[in-house]
Structure 1
């Protein structure tokens, strides 16, 4: 994304001898971030990415709460039975980690899930 069409054309001409380039048009969605141009510049949002995570986890219709984690809970890699799909659990953990890195105000979502990501177990 560049500030002008002329700058984009100049950069593409400059780099094309060394790299295979393709103009994909205006930026819309990249690495889980929806980008929308407005009068002040660009507005970025992760709403679609967060919605996709909820869909994958089967939590689309869950009710929201003020504090979504048990702040007094004790987790252990030796308690409970194993999840039927630990790969999916780790995939969701990675998606939540990316969401947190890009949205620091969501920092509480990483620790409780990451503590048991090595050997995820159901309670």
Structure 2
């Protein structure tokens, strides 16, 4: 599992949210070519399956331990992202899933599918989720 964090100086903007959403779209579209090149070089492998879970919110960068490598991001949106990642390829029918805050920033620019309210392990409330429609 990978994790990316996009820092912004003041508050989230549509441009930052769009950049965060477009990165996995580009990655997903490049998978067939990557697979073709690898199998063309003699690697025997199934086509990779990747998915992304994007959330937006306030986080805190905190020290975990005494070394600088012991830094951690904490916050509700971080917890949500990790819980959503545990649902990957199991219960969510879209490779790119957005939390409601992220979806609200990009809904005017990207085609979204309403995935409805979903039970999210580790949370008492349901989360209303969206998927990016890929063309």
In terms of fraction of residues, the more strand-rich structure is 2
In terms of fraction of residues, the more helix-rich structure is 1
Give the TM-score of the pair, scaled to structure 1.
Answer: 0.23
Give the TM-score of the pair, scaled to structure 2.
Answer: 0.21
- The structure that has the greater radius of gyration is 1
